[in-house]
Structure 1
Protein backbone atom coordinates (compact mmCIF):
# COMPACT_ATOMS: atom_id res chain seq x y z
CA UNK A 1 0.00 0.00 0.00
CA UNK A 2 1.35 3.46 -0.95
CA UNK A 3 -0.25 6.71 0.28
CA UNK A 4 -3.62 5.00 0.64
CA UNK A 5 -3.49 3.32 -2.77
CA UNK A 6 -3.73 -0.45 -3.03
CA UNK A 7 -1.45 -2.51 -5.26
CA UNK A 8 -4.38 -2.98 -7.66
CA UNK A 9 -4.85 0.78 -7.98
CA UNK A 10 -1.14 1.36 -8.54
CA UNK A 11 -1.11 -1.22 -11.34
CA UNK A 12 -4.22 0.42 -12.79
CA UNK A 13 -2.49 3.82 -12.64
CA UNK A 14 0.59 2.52 -14.46
CA UNK A 15 -1.61 1.03 -17.18
CA UNK A 16 -3.65 4.23 -17.55
CA UNK A 17 -0.55 6.44 -17.72
CA UNK A 18 1.12 4.12 -20.23
CA UNK A 19 -1.93 4.18 -22.49
CA UNK A 20 -2.28 7.96 -22.26
CA UNK A 21 1.39 8.57 -23.04
CA UNK A 22 1.55 6.12 -25.94
CA UNK A 23 -1.75 6.97 -27.63
CA UNK A 24 -1.25 8.52 -31.08
CA UNK A 25 -1.80 12.25 -31.39
CA UNK A 26 -4.27 11.96 -34.29
CA UNK A 27 -2.36 14.57 -36.29
CA UNK A 28 -2.81 17.27 -33.67
CA UNK A 29 -0.09 19.79 -32.87
CA UNK A 30 -1.18 20.86 -29.38
CA UNK A 31 1.23 20.26 -26.53
CA UNK A 32 0.83 17.95 -23.62
CA UNK A 33 0.27 19.46 -20.20
CA UNK A 34 -0.13 18.97 -16.47
CA UNK A 35 -2.80 20.53 -14.25
CA UNK A 36 -2.54 20.73 -10.45
CA UNK A 37 -5.34 21.97 -8.25
CA UNK A 38 -7.58 21.82 -5.19
CA UNK A 39 -11.28 21.33 -4.50
CA UNK A 40 -12.68 24.70 -3.38
CA UNK A 41 -16.17 23.34 -2.72
CA UNK A 42 -14.96 20.77 -0.20
CA UNK A 43 -12.69 23.21 1.63
CA UNK A 44 -15.25 26.02 1.90
CA UNK A 45 -18.19 23.76 2.67
CA UNK A 46 -16.89 23.02 6.14
CA UNK A 47 -16.86 26.75 6.98
CA UNK A 48 -20.61 27.16 6.44
CA UNK A 49 -22.84 27.37 9.55
CA UNK A 50 -24.32 23.99 10.41
CA UNK A 51 -22.06 22.06 8.04
CA UNK A 52 -21.20 18.52 9.11
CA UNK A 53 -18.59 17.81 6.43
CA UNK A 54 -15.04 19.12 5.99
CA UNK A 55 -13.03 17.95 2.98
CA UNK A 56 -9.58 18.79 1.61
CA UNK A 57 -8.72 17.39 -1.81
CA UNK A 58 -5.93 17.81 -4.34
CA UNK A 59 -6.01 16.82 -7.99
CA UNK A 60 -3.40 16.20 -10.69
CA UNK A 61 -4.24 15.75 -14.39
CA UNK A 62 -1.88 14.74 -17.19
CA UNK A 63 -3.05 15.78 -20.68
CA UNK A 64 -2.10 13.78 -23.77
CA UNK A 65 -2.05 15.28 -27.28
CA UNK A 66 -4.73 12.81 -28.36
CA UNK A 67 -7.25 14.37 -25.93
CA UNK A 68 -6.82 11.68 -23.28
CA UNK A 69 -6.34 12.65 -19.64
CA UNK A 70 -4.99 10.59 -16.74
CA UNK A 71 -5.92 11.92 -13.31
CA UNK A 72 -5.21 11.25 -9.64
CA UNK A 73 -6.94 12.75 -6.62
CA UNK A 74 -5.97 12.52 -2.95
CA UNK A 75 -7.99 13.85 -0.05
CA UNK A 76 -9.08 13.71 3.56
CA UNK A 77 -12.60 14.12 4.88
CA UNK A 78 -14.38 14.42 8.22
CA UNK A 79 -18.05 13.95 9.05
CA UNK A 80 -19.37 15.07 12.44
CA UNK A 81 -22.98 14.57 13.51
CA UNK A 82 -24.70 16.97 15.86
CA UNK A 83 -25.51 15.64 19.30
CA UNK A 84 -28.99 16.35 20.62
CA UNK A 85 -31.12 15.35 23.57
CA UNK A 86 -33.37 13.06 21.52
CA UNK A 87 -30.64 10.92 19.98
CA UNK A 88 -28.46 10.90 23.12
CA UNK A 89 -25.54 10.13 20.86
CA UNK A 90 -22.95 11.39 18.43
CA UNK A 91 -21.31 9.82 15.39
CA UNK A 92 -18.20 11.03 13.60
CA UNK A 93 -16.01 9.67 10.84
CA UNK A 94 -12.71 10.78 9.35
CA UNK A 95 -10.36 9.27 6.85
CA UNK A 96 -8.35 9.55 3.64
CA UNK A 97 -9.03 8.46 0.09
CA UNK A 98 -7.57 8.36 -3.39
CA UNK A 99 -8.90 8.20 -6.93
CA UNK A 100 -7.23 7.13 -10.18
CA UNK A 101 -8.80 7.33 -13.61
CA UNK A 102 -8.72 8.16 -17.28
CA UNK A 103 -10.91 10.60 -19.23
CA UNK A 104 -11.44 11.88 -22.77
CA UNK A 105 -11.56 15.58 -23.64
CA UNK A 106 -14.42 16.33 -26.03
CA UNK A 107 -13.00 19.82 -26.76
CA UNK A 108 -10.04 18.70 -28.85
CA UNK A 109 -9.34 22.18 -30.19
CA UNK A 110 -8.46 23.48 -26.70
CA UNK A 111 -5.91 20.87 -25.63
CA UNK A 112 -2.95 23.22 -25.24
CA UNK A 113 -4.93 25.72 -23.15
CA UNK A 114 -6.07 23.18 -20.58
CA UNK A 115 -9.76 23.88 -21.20
CA UNK A 116 -11.81 20.71 -21.18
CA UNK A 117 -15.18 19.09 -21.27
CA UNK A 118 -14.30 15.52 -20.44
CA UNK A 119 -15.96 12.24 -19.59
CA UNK A 120 -14.09 9.62 -17.60
CA UNK A 121 -14.02 6.50 -15.51
CA UNK A 122 -12.04 5.93 -12.33
CA UNK A 123 -11.51 3.71 -9.33
CA UNK A 124 -11.36 4.94 -5.73
CA UNK A 125 -10.22 3.56 -2.39
CA UNK A 126 -10.88 4.89 1.10
CA UNK A 127 -9.84 4.26 4.71
CA UNK A 128 -12.20 5.61 7.38
CA UNK A 129 -12.17 5.65 11.17
CA UNK A 130 -15.67 5.77 12.67
CA UNK A 131 -16.61 6.57 16.25
CA UNK A 132 -19.99 6.26 17.93
CA UNK A 133 -20.75 7.76 21.33
CA UNK A 134 -24.10 7.21 22.97
CA UNK A 135 -25.80 7.10 26.33
CA UNK A 136 -27.67 4.02 27.53
CA UNK A 137 -30.60 5.06 29.70
CA UNK A 138 -31.77 2.62 32.36
CA UNK A 139 -34.25 3.32 35.18
CA UNK A 140 -32.40 0.75 37.29
CA UNK A 141 -28.71 1.33 36.56
CA UNK A 142 -28.92 4.95 35.47
CA UNK A 143 -27.18 6.47 32.45
CA UNK A 144 -24.10 4.74 31.06
CA UNK A 145 -21.81 6.12 28.36
CA UNK A 146 -21.13 3.86 25.36
CA UNK A 147 -18.17 4.44 23.04
CA UNK A 148 -17.47 2.32 19.96
CA UNK A 149 -14.82 2.76 17.27
CA UNK A 150 -13.91 0.89 14.10
CA UNK A 151 -11.80 1.25 10.96
CA UNK A 152 -13.34 0.49 7.58
CA UNK A 153 -11.88 0.06 4.11
CA UNK A 154 -13.93 0.77 0.99
CA UNK A 155 -13.57 0.91 -2.78
CA UNK A 156 -15.84 1.89 -5.65
CA UNK A 157 -15.98 2.93 -9.31
CA UNK A 158 -16.86 6.36 -10.66
CA UNK A 159 -18.22 7.81 -13.90
CA UNK A 160 -17.36 11.50 -14.18
CA UNK A 161 -18.15 14.61 -16.20
CA UNK A 162 -15.76 17.56 -15.81
CA UNK A 163 -15.55 21.09 -17.21
CA UNK A 164 -12.41 23.28 -17.14
CA UNK A 165 -12.37 26.95 -18.25
CA UNK A 166 -9.58 29.52 -18.22
CA UNK A 167 -9.98 32.16 -15.49
CA UNK A 168 -6.69 34.05 -15.95
CA UNK A 169 -3.57 33.02 -17.82
CA UNK A 170 -2.66 29.59 -16.39
CA UNK A 171 -5.41 29.56 -13.75
CA UNK A 172 -8.40 27.33 -14.48
CA UNK A 173 -11.78 26.98 -12.79
CA UNK A 174 -14.10 24.05 -13.23
CA UNK A 175 -16.32 21.41 -11.73
CA UNK A 176 -16.41 17.64 -11.63
CA UNK A 177 -19.65 15.70 -11.23
CA UNK A 178 -19.37 12.03 -10.33
CA UNK A 179 -21.72 9.07 -10.28
CA UNK A 180 -20.24 6.65 -7.75
CA UNK A 181 -21.22 2.99 -8.13
CA UNK A 182 -20.47 -0.53 -6.89
CA UNK A 183 -19.44 0.42 -3.36
CA UNK A 184 -17.73 -2.41 -1.47
CA UNK A 185 -17.02 -1.92 2.23
CA UNK A 186 -14.85 -4.14 4.39
CA UNK A 187 -16.36 -3.43 7.79
CA UNK A 188 -15.53 -4.17 11.37
CA UNK A 189 -18.07 -5.87 13.64
CA UNK A 190 -18.75 -3.01 16.05
CA UNK A 191 -21.63 -1.36 14.17
CA UNK A 192 -22.98 -0.84 10.65
CA UNK A 193 -20.92 1.43 8.43
CA UNK A 194 -22.58 4.81 7.89
CA UNK A 195 -20.09 7.16 6.21
CA UNK A 196 -17.17 6.60 3.82
CA UNK A 197 -14.48 9.26 3.38
CA UNK A 198 -14.41 10.48 -0.22
CA UNK A 199 -17.75 8.82 -0.99
CA UNK A 200 -20.35 10.03 1.48
CA UNK A 201 -23.12 8.04 3.12
CA UNK A 202 -22.61 4.34 2.58
CA UNK A 203 -25.36 3.89 -0.01
CA UNK A 204 -24.76 1.55 -2.92
CA UNK A 205 -24.69 4.42 -5.45
CA UNK A 206 -24.20 8.16 -4.91
CA UNK A 207 -23.56 11.42 -6.74
CA UNK A 208 -20.53 13.54 -5.89
CA UNK A 209 -19.45 17.07 -6.79
CA UNK A 210 -16.28 19.17 -6.69
CA UNK A 211 -15.60 22.79 -7.71
CA UNK A 212 -11.91 23.10 -8.49
CA UNK A 213 -9.19 25.70 -8.92
CA UNK A 214 -6.30 24.44 -11.05
CA UNK A 215 -2.96 25.70 -12.35
CA UNK A 216 -2.25 24.42 -15.88
CA UNK A 217 1.34 23.84 -17.01
CA UNK A 218 1.57 23.26 -20.78
CA UNK A 219 4.60 21.30 -21.96
CA UNK A 220 6.70 22.42 -24.90
CA UNK A 221 5.79 21.01 -28.26
CA UNK A 222 8.08 18.17 -29.35
Structure 2
Protein backbone atom coordinates (compact mmCIF):
# COMPACT_ATOMS: atom_id res chain seq x y z
CA UNK A 1 0.00 0.00 0.00
CA UNK A 2 1.47 3.39 -0.93
CA UNK A 3 2.27 5.84 1.85
CA UNK A 4 -0.27 8.63 2.38
CA UNK A 5 0.47 11.88 0.64
CA UNK A 6 1.08 14.78 3.08
CA UNK A 7 -1.51 17.52 2.79
CA UNK A 8 -2.17 20.75 4.66
CA UNK A 9 -5.03 19.06 6.48
CA UNK A 10 -3.11 15.87 7.30
CA UNK A 11 -0.06 17.67 8.65
CA UNK A 12 -1.84 20.24 10.73
CA UNK A 13 0.40 22.33 12.94
CA UNK A 14 -0.08 24.68 15.85
CA UNK A 15 0.60 28.34 15.12
CA UNK A 16 3.38 30.35 16.76
CA UNK A 17 3.93 33.83 18.16
CA UNK A 18 6.88 35.32 16.27
CA UNK A 19 8.39 38.25 18.16
CA UNK A 20 10.61 40.90 16.62
CA UNK A 21 12.25 43.31 19.05
CA UNK A 22 14.92 45.93 18.50
CA UNK A 23 15.91 49.45 19.47
CA UNK A 24 14.17 52.17 17.48
CA UNK A 25 15.97 52.57 14.15
CA UNK A 26 17.51 49.08 14.01
CA UNK A 27 15.20 48.01 11.18
CA UNK A 28 12.54 45.98 12.97
CA UNK A 29 9.62 47.75 11.26
CA UNK A 30 11.11 47.25 7.80
CA UNK A 31 11.76 43.56 8.42
CA UNK A 32 8.27 43.06 9.86
CA UNK A 33 6.62 44.76 6.88
CA UNK A 34 8.58 42.65 4.40
CA UNK A 35 7.75 39.47 6.28
CA UNK A 36 4.03 40.25 6.21
CA UNK A 37 4.20 41.01 2.49
CA UNK A 38 6.14 37.84 1.64
CA UNK A 39 4.34 35.32 3.85
CA UNK A 40 0.56 34.93 3.79
CA UNK A 41 0.60 32.47 6.72
CA UNK A 42 1.56 35.11 9.28
CA UNK A 43 -0.44 38.16 10.34
CA UNK A 44 0.29 41.09 12.59
CA UNK A 45 -0.90 40.92 16.17
CA UNK A 46 -2.95 44.08 16.72
CA UNK A 47 -2.29 45.61 20.12
CA UNK A 48 -4.58 47.72 22.23
CA UNK A 49 -3.21 51.14 23.16
CA UNK A 50 -4.17 54.21 25.12
CA UNK A 51 -2.26 56.60 22.87
CA UNK A 52 -4.24 58.89 20.54
CA UNK A 53 -4.87 57.74 17.00
CA UNK A 54 -2.56 59.37 14.42
CA UNK A 55 -3.52 60.64 10.96
CA UNK A 56 -3.83 57.74 8.52
CA UNK A 57 -4.19 55.06 11.19
CA UNK A 58 -7.23 52.78 11.30
CA UNK A 59 -8.77 51.54 14.52
CA UNK A 60 -8.67 47.74 14.59
CA UNK A 61 -6.01 47.55 11.88
CA UNK A 62 -3.07 49.50 13.25
CA UNK A 63 -4.15 49.34 16.90
CA UNK A 64 -7.24 48.92 19.01
CA UNK A 65 -7.46 52.46 20.41
CA UNK A 66 -9.00 52.39 23.88
CA UNK A 67 -9.44 54.78 26.80
CA UNK A 68 -7.44 54.52 30.01
CA UNK A 69 -10.57 53.27 31.78
CA UNK A 70 -11.12 50.52 29.19
CA UNK A 71 -7.46 49.51 29.38
CA UNK A 72 -7.74 49.29 33.18
CA UNK A 73 -10.82 47.06 32.81
CA UNK A 74 -8.94 44.75 30.43
CA UNK A 75 -5.98 44.50 32.81
CA UNK A 76 -8.26 43.68 35.73
CA UNK A 77 -10.04 41.06 33.61
CA UNK A 78 -6.72 39.39 32.71
CA UNK A 79 -7.47 39.93 29.00
CA UNK A 80 -3.86 40.65 28.00
CA UNK A 81 -0.97 38.31 27.28
CA UNK A 82 1.27 41.23 28.14
CA UNK A 83 1.16 44.97 28.51
CA UNK A 84 3.66 47.76 29.07
CA UNK A 85 3.95 51.53 29.34
CA UNK A 86 5.98 53.10 26.51
CA UNK A 87 6.62 56.84 26.19
CA UNK A 88 3.72 57.66 28.51
CA UNK A 89 1.11 55.38 26.89
CA UNK A 90 0.12 51.76 27.50
CA UNK A 91 0.17 48.93 24.96
CA UNK A 92 -1.17 45.40 25.43
CA UNK A 93 -1.74 42.16 23.51
CA UNK A 94 -5.32 40.80 23.80
CA UNK A 95 -5.49 37.03 24.43
CA UNK A 96 -8.73 35.63 23.01
CA UNK A 97 -8.16 36.15 19.26
CA UNK A 98 -4.53 34.98 19.45
CA UNK A 99 -5.32 31.75 21.29
CA UNK A 100 -8.07 30.80 18.85
CA UNK A 101 -5.78 31.47 15.88
CA UNK A 102 -2.86 29.46 17.26
CA UNK A 103 -5.10 26.43 17.65
CA UNK A 104 -6.05 26.70 13.96
CA UNK A 105 -2.42 27.00 12.82
CA UNK A 106 -2.30 30.78 12.37
CA UNK A 107 1.05 32.49 13.03
CA UNK A 108 1.17 35.95 14.61
CA UNK A 109 3.88 38.59 14.32
CA UNK A 110 4.57 40.70 17.40
CA UNK A 111 6.32 44.07 17.42
CA UNK A 112 6.99 44.42 21.17
CA UNK A 113 9.87 45.35 23.48
CA UNK A 114 11.84 43.13 25.87
CA UNK A 115 9.37 43.66 28.71
CA UNK A 116 6.47 42.48 26.56
CA UNK A 117 8.55 39.56 25.31
CA UNK A 118 9.31 38.52 28.87
CA UNK A 119 5.65 38.66 29.90
CA UNK A 120 4.51 36.77 26.80
CA UNK A 121 7.13 34.06 27.34
CA UNK A 122 6.11 33.61 30.96
CA UNK A 123 2.48 33.02 29.97
CA UNK A 124 2.94 30.92 26.82
CA UNK A 125 6.59 29.90 26.38
CA UNK A 126 5.87 26.93 24.09
CA UNK A 127 4.29 29.11 21.38
CA UNK A 128 6.77 32.02 21.53
CA UNK A 129 9.70 32.52 19.12
CA UNK A 130 11.63 35.64 20.23
CA UNK A 131 14.03 37.34 17.81
CA UNK A 132 16.12 40.40 18.65
CA UNK A 133 17.52 42.63 15.90
CA UNK A 134 20.73 44.51 16.67
CA UNK A 135 22.21 47.48 14.80
CA UNK A 136 25.79 47.02 13.55
CA UNK A 137 26.91 49.87 15.85
CA UNK A 138 25.49 52.69 17.96
CA UNK A 139 26.97 55.19 15.52
CA UNK A 140 25.02 53.61 12.66
CA UNK A 141 21.87 53.52 14.78
CA UNK A 142 22.19 57.25 15.45
CA UNK A 143 22.78 57.93 11.74
CA UNK A 144 19.61 56.01 10.81
CA UNK A 145 17.52 57.90 13.37
CA UNK A 146 18.78 61.23 12.04
CA UNK A 147 18.23 60.14 8.41
CA UNK A 148 14.56 59.37 9.12
CA UNK A 149 14.05 63.10 9.81
CA UNK A 150 11.06 62.31 12.03
CA UNK A 151 12.33 63.41 15.44
CA UNK A 152 14.06 66.34 17.08
CA UNK A 153 17.62 65.95 18.35
CA UNK A 154 16.24 65.80 21.89
CA UNK A 155 13.94 62.92 20.99
CA UNK A 156 16.77 61.14 19.16
CA UNK A 157 18.99 61.47 22.25
CA UNK A 158 16.20 59.88 24.27
CA UNK A 159 15.85 57.03 21.79
CA UNK A 160 19.62 56.42 21.88
CA UNK A 161 19.61 56.24 25.66
CA UNK A 162 16.68 53.83 25.56
CA UNK A 163 18.40 51.78 22.85
CA UNK A 164 21.35 50.97 25.08
CA UNK A 165 19.00 49.82 27.83
CA UNK A 166 17.07 47.63 25.36
CA UNK A 167 20.23 46.11 23.88
CA UNK A 168 21.28 44.97 27.36
CA UNK A 169 18.42 42.44 27.25
CA UNK A 170 19.61 40.71 24.08
CA UNK A 171 20.34 37.48 25.96
CA UNK A 172 16.65 37.02 26.77
CA UNK A 173 15.97 36.05 23.14
CA UNK A 174 16.35 32.70 21.39
CA UNK A 175 17.66 34.35 18.21
CA UNK A 176 19.77 37.47 17.69
CA UNK A 177 20.37 38.92 14.22
CA UNK A 178 22.61 41.89 13.36
CA UNK A 179 20.99 44.15 10.76
CA UNK A 180 24.06 45.28 8.84
CA UNK A 181 22.31 44.66 5.52
CA UNK A 182 18.52 44.72 5.44
CA UNK A 183 18.22 42.04 2.71
CA UNK A 184 20.49 39.58 4.51
CA UNK A 185 18.74 40.32 7.80
CA UNK A 186 15.33 39.64 6.24
CA UNK A 187 16.53 36.32 4.79
CA UNK A 188 17.85 35.20 8.19
CA UNK A 189 14.66 36.16 9.98
CA UNK A 190 12.53 34.32 7.44
CA UNK A 191 14.73 31.22 7.76
CA UNK A 192 14.15 31.28 11.52
CA UNK A 193 10.39 31.41 10.97
CA UNK A 194 10.47 28.49 8.52
CA UNK A 195 12.62 26.34 10.82
CA UNK A 196 10.39 27.01 13.84
CA UNK A 197 7.30 26.00 11.89
CA UNK A 198 8.87 22.62 11.18
CA UNK A 199 9.62 21.75 14.80
CA UNK A 200 8.13 18.41 15.72
CA UNK A 201 6.25 19.82 18.72
CA UNK A 202 4.28 22.12 16.41
CA UNK A 203 3.53 19.49 13.76
CA UNK A 204 0.40 18.23 15.52
CA UNK A 205 -0.70 16.38 12.38
CA UNK A 206 2.40 14.17 12.41
CA UNK A 207 1.01 11.69 14.94
CA UNK A 208 -1.85 10.55 12.72
CA UNK A 209 0.33 10.74 9.61
CA UNK A 210 2.99 8.45 11.09
CA UNK A 211 0.34 6.02 12.30
CA UNK A 212 -0.94 5.76 8.73
CA UNK A 213 2.61 5.18 7.50
CA UNK A 214 3.09 2.36 10.00
CA UNK A 215 -0.18 0.71 9.03
CA UNK A 216 0.94 0.72 5.42
CA UNK A 217 4.36 -0.77 6.19
Shorter-chain TM band: under 0.3
What is the TM-score normalised by the length of structure 1? 0.21
What is the TM-score normalised by the length of structure 2? 0.21
Whose relative contact order is higher, 1 or 2, with alpha carbons under 8 Å and at least 6 apart?
Answer: 2
If you compute each CA radius of gyration, which structure gives the higher value, 1 or 2? 1
Comparing both structures, which one devotes a greater share of its residues to helix?
Answer: 2
Comparing both structures, which one devotes a greater share of its residues to strand?
Answer: 1
